[in-house]
Structure 1
Amino acid sequence: MDALDTKLNEVFSGRVVRKDLVQQVKKGTNVPTFVLEFLLAKYCASNDPDEIAAGIEATLEYLARHYVRPDESNKAQSTVQQKGTHKYVDKVHVRHVEKEKRHWAAMENFNSQRIAINQKFYKDNDRLLEGGLWAEVTVGYNDVEDDNYAFYVEDLRPIQLSRFDFDRYLEGRARFTRDEWMDIVLRSVGLKPSKLSPRLKLHFIARLLPLVEPNYNFIELGPRGTGKSYFFSEFSPYATLVSGGQATKATLFYNNARGKVGLVGFWDAVAFDEVAGIKIKDQDAIQIMKDYMANGRFSRGVEVIANASMAFVGNIDESIHQLVNSTEHDLFLPLPAALDLAVMDRFYCYLPGWEIPKNSSAYLTGAFGFITDYLAEAFHHLFKQTNRYEYVNSHIRLGPAVEGRDEKGIKKTVAAFLKILHPGGAPEPAELEEYVAYAVEARRRVKEQMNKRKPDDEFARINLSYFGADGSEVVVYCPESKGAPATQSPSRRTLDRGAEARAPTASTVEGPAEIQLTRPAAVPDDEQAAPEHPREPELKEQHFTILYGDTGYTYDSLIGPYLAGARSVTIEDPYIRAPHQIANFVRFCETVSKTPGVRSVTLVTSYDDQTNLADLNDKLGELKQSLMEVDIVLEIRINEKLHDREIRLDNGWIIKLGRGLDFYQKPESWFAIGASDFSLRKCLETKVDIFREAPRSND
C-alpha cells in the first residue's frame, strides 16, 4: 500500500477494494464488475492479507453456490424444486403480457421466462421493466399443479447500495487534493495513474462525463481494444449499452402501442456501441433523436421529458493523419449517413480515441479504488441532484467565435468535470482553465469536421477560444489538425466550381501526399438532387397468374413495393388457422415491419369447428406482442361469413391473391432448398390482381 492507498482506506473505510482482486475473481465468470465488487465489498473489506485471502475464498464459494452458469440452468431449476427456495445472482427482466393482464419475470442464466413476481419489486425498481438489472434473487418453487408457472420471486435485492450518504462522500473528498482525487477515480475504474500523462488522465475522466451530466451528448471514435464501451457496459448499473441491431424509436424513446417511455426514461446514459453499424429504418427516429439531443424532450402524441445522456462509441480504421489532410474526408467518416450534420452539431464532446492506448496489463492498477458500485451511486446522485452549469456560466468567459451550441457544449463539459473532480467545492483558477481548454478543444473537433462537410460558411468559425484569468484570449486547437490546411481552411469547391483547378493539391499541403480512401465522401446538401442509385420503378397495376411449380415469389417481392407510404394494412383471409397458415401470416407481418411508417395491421379471418382456438390465440397473441416491440398494433377480427381474400392498404392499393397468403407448396423435404428461402419455394397456381382503388367522389 502506498500513501494514497493508506489515506483512502482511512477516509473511506469499507467503501474501497483492491482492484487486482476483481481481475483474480473475474476469470472464469461472466459477472459484471460491479456485481463482483459488491461481493468483494462484503467479504474483502480489509487491507489485511489473511483477511483478503479468506474473503476471496468466500467470494468464490458464494459464486459457486449462487451464481448460475448459463449451461447449468437445468441444475439450478432442479435445486429450487428440491430445496423449495434458493438464492441466485442473476440478471432479472420483467415484462407485461397484455393478453394475460399480468407481469412475468425472466432470469437470464436461470433460463426461465415465466416466473411469478410481486408488483412491489418492479414498482420499486423501474429498470426491471426496461433492460433488466442484476440482483440477488430468492427463487421459490410453486408446487400447485393448477397454476401455470413453476417458480416465483420470493425476495429480490438489486446489486447496489441500499443507502448512499452524499454528505459523507463530500466530506471524504475534502480530505484530498484535486490530483489525488483524480488518481482515485482512475484507480476506481481499474487504471494505473502513474502510467498516464495529464492529457490521458483527462481523456479517461471525459469518458465518465455522460454518467454525471444530464442530456450530455458524447462521441468517441478510435481504434479497437481501447475500452470505449467498458464504462457503459460494466462500470455503472445506471448506464445501458445498445449493441448493434436496429435502434427503433419505440425502444429508445416512446412506444405508442404500449404507452411506455423507452430507454431514455430509465437510464442515466444510453450508449450506442459500434456506431458505424447502427441501423435506423424509420427516419422519424432520427428526427426524435435530434429533438431529444437538443433539449431533452420530444413529442410522440404526448410530451416526454427525459434526462438520459447519449454516448456514441465506435471504431475508426483510417489514418488520422490522412483524414485531417484530406480534402474529401473527415473524422466523422465512420458514422452512418442517418447521423447527419444536424446530429453532429449536437455532440458536445468528441474524444480523440486514437490517443488512448490499447488495453494492456501494464495500465491496470493493483492499488485500492472505490467499489465500483459506490462510485456509480455517487455519480448517479451527481446526475440527478446537482447542477454546476450556473457556476460555470458565471466563472468562465468564452471568445467571439463561440456560438450557441458551442457555448452550451463547452459549459456542460466543464460542469461535468467539476461534478467528478470537485463535487462539493470550487476548483483553483488554473484547474478551471485546464477544464475549459479541454472542453473547447472537444467541441472544436466537432465543428472542424462539420465545416469540412458543409459547402457554405455556416460552421466556418472554428477558432474557438476562451479568456484566461489574466484577461487574454486563448485560441484552442486540436493537436491532430492544427497543421492541416485541409481542415483549417477547407476548399469550397462545390460553391465555386470554376476554382477547382485552383484548389490546393497534395503538393501544396504540408505533410505527405494525400492517400485516396476507399469510403466515398459525404454528399453536400446542394447535390442531394442527383440520386446516387437508380430510382425505383414506378408502381403500376398488375394482373397475372402464378403457375403451379413457379418460384421466385415472396411477400417481399409481391407486396413489399406497394407498402410505401402506407400507415395501416388490412388483410382479409379466412384461412389463417393451421400452423403453416399462421406461419405464412407471420412472414407477411415481417414484410410489413420492414416498411417505415406502417403503424397498424388488421387481420380479418374466420375459423371452423376443427380449429384449435386456444393454440390459435396463443400464437397470434405472441405475434401481437412481438409487433408491439416495433411499434405496430395488430388487431384481429372474426367474420364467419368471410370468403374473399385481399390486402387493402390505406395508400390506395389493393392486392387480391386468389389463394390468399397460402399459395406455397409444402416442400418435398425440409432439408431441400426452398424449405427456408421462400424465393426458392415452389408455388401453387393462383391469380394476382394489384390495382389502385378509385378515388371517391365528393358528390
Structure 2
Amino acid sequence: MQFEMEMDPLDKKLNDVFDGKVVRKDLLHRIKKGTNVPTFVLEFLLARYCASNEPAEIQAGMEAVLATLDENYVRPDEANSAQSRVAVKGKHKFIDKVHVRYVEKDKRHWAALENFSSQKVAIGEKFYRDIDRLLEGGIWAEVVIAHNEVDEDNYAFYVEDLRPIQLSRFDFDAYREGRAKMTRNEWLDVILRSVGLEPGKLDHRTKLHFIARLAPLVEANFNFVELGPRGTGKSYFFSEFSPYSTLISGGQATKATLFYNNARGKIGLVGFWDTVAFDEVGGIKIKDPDTIQIMKDYMANGRFSRGVEIIANASMAFVGNIDQSIDQIVRSSEHDLFLPLPPQFDLAVMDRFACYLPGWEMPKTSSAYLTDRFGLITDYLAEAFHYQLKHNNRYEEVSKRAKLGASVEGRDEKGIKKTLCAFLKILHPDGPPSDEEFFEYVEYAIECRRRVKEQMNKRKPDDEFALIDLSYFDTSGKEIVVYCPETKGVVQTLEPERPSLAPHRGAQPPARQEPGRANIDANAPGKNDGVDTQPSLAEKHFTISYGDVGHTYDTIIGPYLQGAKEIIIEDPYIRAPHQLANFVRFCESAVKAPTVRKINLRSSYDEKTDLATVNERMDELKQSLLEIDVILTVDLDSKIHDREIRTDTGWIIKIGRGLDFYQKPDGWFSIGSNDFSLRRCLETKVDIFRAS
C-alpha cells in the first residue's frame, strides 16, 4: 500500500489546530470496502492506531486496525466459528452491535449481538442501567463475551465487559477555539472532508445541501425531509456518521417503539437518540392511527401525552426515493413533490417539516467524490454536534437578525429559524457569521421551507397555504422574495387549479378535501347555485320540552359556529362516561365549522370523579383533534357552576342542562340510541344571544 501524501494548506492547518483529532479519510475508504462496520467505529480504530502522517507509522497502524478487525469483528457468516472460539478459549473480545431486550417469559433481560448471532446472552443489570440506549436500538461496542460453564443455566454466553465505541470526553471550548482559527469557507471544507467528501469536486450550492443533511444531528426537534433518486447517500449520515442517531429501515413504526411503551412505562426512541431517521419512508407501515396523531404533536413542539406528559429533543428525518421526473411532477396538475410519502402523512404532518432538501440535486454516490485528505475524526465531530443539540440554543440570535416578510406564517417562521440555527451551529460554533454569510443561510432556509409550502398549497383545495412567496429583508431594508429553482415560473405549482367550492347542481364534488374536514356541499340547505341564501343569524330563546326529538348539537349550536376560530365551553358535568361521550359529539359538531382551531373546556369534578379516567379520555380526544389541527385545552375546577358556550365571534349559547339534555335510551338497540336527532330530550331552556 502507498501511504505517502503531500498535505495541502488545509491539511496542515487542520493538523496544527486539531492535533490528535484528525484522520486521513483515504485510510477509512480502504478499510471500509468489504465490511459493514459503521464509519464511526472504523475511525475509532484508526484514531487509536493511525494518528500520524508518517508512512511507516501509518503502515503499522493500518496493520493493527486490520488485525483488530480480523480478530474482533465477526462477519455474519462467521457467527458459528465465533461462538466456538468463545467456548474453547473461555472468553473473547468482539466489536459488534449489542441490543438488550426484556423477555417476559423468562422474567429477565437478554443481550443480543448482531453478528455473533446469539439472541440469548446473559447481561448484568449495571450495563443496561448505565447505558440506556442498549434497550432502545442498541449500540456498537467493544464487548467481552465469556462462556458459561454451569450446565444448569439455560444460557451459554454472558457479557463480562462492555465499552461503548465513542469518545469518553469532549471539550467544546477547544472545539470553538479551533474553529475560530479558520475562515468560514475553510471550515465548510473541513466539515465536508470530515464526512468523507472532497469539497473541491462540489459546487457551493451542493455543499450547502450536504450541510443541511447534518441539520437534524445538531438542532433539537428539527423535522427534515429529503426525497430524491436512489443512490445519493440519503441515509448515510443517519446510519454511519453519528452514534447518537438511529435509522429505522422499513417495518412498522409503532407508538410504543417511537414514543412511549405503556406496558413498560418507558419512553421510546425519541428519548434516547438525537435523531430518529426513517429510511425508505414511503414503505413504512403505520397501522395504528394513534402513532400519526402522537407524531404530529411531537413534531409540533417536542412533546406529547400518553397519560403522562413527555418532552424529548430528538429530531425526525424522513428520507425516500422519487422515481418520477421532477420536471414532470412540478408541471403536473395532479401530483406534487410529496408523492412518495405514505398516505398517513397528511397536510398536518407535512406542515411540520422545517426543511425539504431537494435530493434530485445531490450527486450519485461515487468514489470520484470521496476525499483522500485529512478530516476531523467522525466521532469527534459527532460529539460536537451532540453537545450543541443539548446545550447550545441559537434561536434568540437568529430571531434578532432575521427579519422575514409578511407571507411568512407561524410554522414557516419556526422552520426557517430552526434551519438557520442548525447552519450556525455547524458552520459558526465560535460566534456570529458576517451579514453576507448570514443572509446566504437565510435565503437557503427560506427556499427549503418554501418547497414544503408549495407542495401543500398544490394539494389543498382552498387558499390556506397560498402565501408561498416567502421573503426576507436585507440590511438595507430591501425585501427579497426567495424561489425554488425547480418551480420558478411553473404555473402548475405556483398557481394550482382549485376545485370549485360551489359547483352547479349535478356537478361532481371536488376530487380532494382536507383530511378530517367535510367537503362543502353546494346542494346543502341555504345554498343555491353558489349563491348564499342562508338568512342572517338571529338571537333565539326557546324551550325543549320533555320527550321532544330533533334537537342535536348540530342544529342548536352549529349555525352559530360559522366563522368562529375559538370556542369556550363551560359545563360542570363533563365527567361521567355518557357526559364525556356527549362532549365528543359536541367536538364533532364544532370541527364541521372549517374555521374552528381551538376548543377550551372548563368543567368541574367532585370526590367521586375518576380523574385518571377523565384525563386519559381527554388526552385521547386531544390527540384526535390535533390530527385535524384543532387544539383542545381542558381546565378542571371544582367551583364551576355555569353552563354556557361562547365563541370569539360574540355568540353565547346557554342550555339550562348543559350538554346533558338527552334521555337515556330505552335500550342500545332502540331508535335514537345512535342517531341523536331521534333521541328523546329532557326539558331544558335554550338562550342564544350576542354578547353585549
Q: TM-score range by the shorter chain?
A: 0.7 to 0.9
Q: Does 1:178 align with 2:184?
A: yes
470, 495, 509: which one aligns with 1:464: 470
Q: Residue 409 of structure 1 aligns with which residue?
A: 415
2:364 and 2:500 map into 1 onto residues whose CA distance is 39
Q: Cα deviations across residues 433-463 of structure 1 (Å, max 9, x unaligned)?
A: 0110000110001001111111111101111
Query: What are the within-5 Å matches in structure 2 for residues 576-591 of structure 1?
Result: none
1:494-534 CA distance string (max 9 Å, x none):
33657xx9xxxxxxxxxxxxxxxxxxx8655599779xxxx
CA distances 1:377-397 after superposition (whole Å, capped 9, x unpaired):
111111111101111011111
Residue type matched to 2:410 in 1? G
User: What's the CA shift for 1:319?
Assistant: 1.3
The one-letter amino acid paired with 2:359 is G
Select 1:440's aligned residue among 441, 446, 449: 446
Residues 1:393 and 2:425 aligned together: no
Change (3 A) 1:526 1:7: closer
Alpha-carbon separation, structure 1, partners of 2:259 and 2:320? 22
Post-superposition CA distance 1:355-376 (Å, at most 9, x none): 1111111111111111111111
Q: Which residue of 2 aligns with 1:273?
A: 279
Answering whether residue 224 of structure 2 is matched by residue 257 of structure 1, we say: no
Amino acid across the alignment from 2:486: E
Matched residue pairs, number? 516
Q: Find the counterpart in structure 1 of residue 296 from structure 2.
A: 290
Match of residue 479 from structure 2:
473
CA offsets 1:528-551 (integer angstroms, 9 cap, x no match): 779xxxxxxxxxxxxxxxxxxxxx
Q: Match for residue 204 of structure 2?
A: 198
**1:186-585 paired onto structure 2 within 5 Å:** 186-495=192-501, 497=503
Distance 1:345 1:147, change over 3 A: same
Report the RMSD for the aligned CA atoms in angstroms: 2.1
- Alpha-carbon distance, 1:146 to partner: 2.1
Cα deviation for residue 340 of structure 1 reads 0.4
Structure 1's 19 and 496: CA in aligned 2 closer, same or farther, altered over 3 A? farther
Aligned counterpart in structure 2 of residue 127 of structure 1, from 130, 133, 149: 133
Gaps in structure 2 of 5+ consecutive residues:
1-6, 521-666, 674-692
Task: Tell me, in whole angstroms, the C-alpha distance in 2 between the residues paired with 1:23 and 1:272.
Answer: 26
Which amino acid counterpart does residue 92 of structure 2 have in structure 1? H
Aligned partners of 1:41, 1:83: CA distance in 2, in Å? Answer: 29
- In the alignment, structure 1 segments of 5+ residues that lack a partner are 502-520, 531-693
SS in 1 for 2:403: coil
CA 1:449–1:246: 2 relative to 1, 3 Å: same
| SS in structure 2 of the partner of residue 208 of structure 1 | helix
Once the two structures are superposed, residues 126-166 of structure 1 have per-residue CA deviations (whole angstroms, 9 ceiling, x without a partner) of 11001101100011222122222222211111010111111
Residue aligned with 1:413, SS: helix
- 1:90 is aligned with what amino acid? D
Find the residue that maps to 2:404 and give its secondary structure.
Answer: coil
1-structure distance, mates of 2:15, 2:424: 24
Question: What is the rounded CA distance, in whole Å, between the counterparts of 1:117 and 1:493 in structure 2?
Answer: 61
CA–CA distance in structure 1, aligned partners of residues 459 and 503 of structure 2: 16
Q: Which moved more, 1:212-221 or 1:83-92?
A: 83-92
Q: Are 1:325 and 1:485, in contact at CA under 8 Å, matched by a contact in 2?
A: yes
TM-score, normalization by structure 2: 0.72
- One-letter identity of the residue aligned with 1:437: E
Matched, 1:88 2:94: yes
Look up the match of 2:42.
36
Name the amino acid aligned to 2:276: V
Q: Distance in 2 between matches of 1:231 and 1:155?
A: 29
Q: 3-state DSSP class of the match of 1:136?
A: strand
Equivalences for 1:90-169 in 2 at 5 Å?
90-169=96-175
Q: Secondary structure at the match of 1:288?
A: helix
In 2: Cα distance, 1:332 partner to 1:493 partner: 20
CA contact (8 A) 1:329 1:522 kept: no
Corresponding position of 2:61? 55
Q: Could you tell me which amino acid in structure 1 is paired with residue 354 of structure 2?
A: Y
Residue 72 of structure 1 and its aligned partner are, at CA, apart by 1.4
Q: TM-score, normalised by structure 1?
A: 0.72
The answer to whether the Cα contact below 8 Å between 2:461 and 2:513 also exists between their aligned partners in 1 is: no
Distance 1:217 1:388 in 2: 17
In structure 2, do the counterparts of structure 1 residues 526 and 296 end up closer, same or farther at CA, with 3 Å as the change threshold?
Answer: closer
Give the distance between the partners of 1:132 and 1:196, measured in 2 at CA.
35
Q: Using the TM superposition, give the Cα deviation of residue 696 of structure 1 relative to its aligned residue in structure 2, in angstroms.
A: 10
Paired amino acid for 1:253: F
Q: Is the CA contact (8 Å cut-off) linking 2:346 and 2:515 kept in structure 1?
A: no
Deviation of 1:108 after TM superposition, in Å, equals 1.2
Q: Distance in 2 between matches of 1:190 and 1:442?
A: 24
Measured in 1, the distance between the counterparts of 2:669 and 2:332 equals: 57
SS in 2 for 1:425: coil
Partner Cα distance (2:251, 2:190) in 1: 36
Instruction: Quote the Cα distance in structure 1 between the aligned partners of 2:481 and 2:279.
Output: 33
Sequence identity, in percent? Answer: 72
Counterpart-to-counterpart distance in 1, 2:515 and 2:117: 50
C-alpha deviations, 1:225-273, integer Å up to 9, x for none? Answer: 0000001111111111111111111111111122121111111001111
Secondary structure at 1:461's aligned position in 2? coil
What is the rounded CA distance, in whole Å, between the counterparts of 2:391 and 2:335 in structure 1? 42
Equivalent residue runs for 1:637-676 within 5 Å: none
Kept in 2: contact 1:264–1:308 (CA 8 A): yes
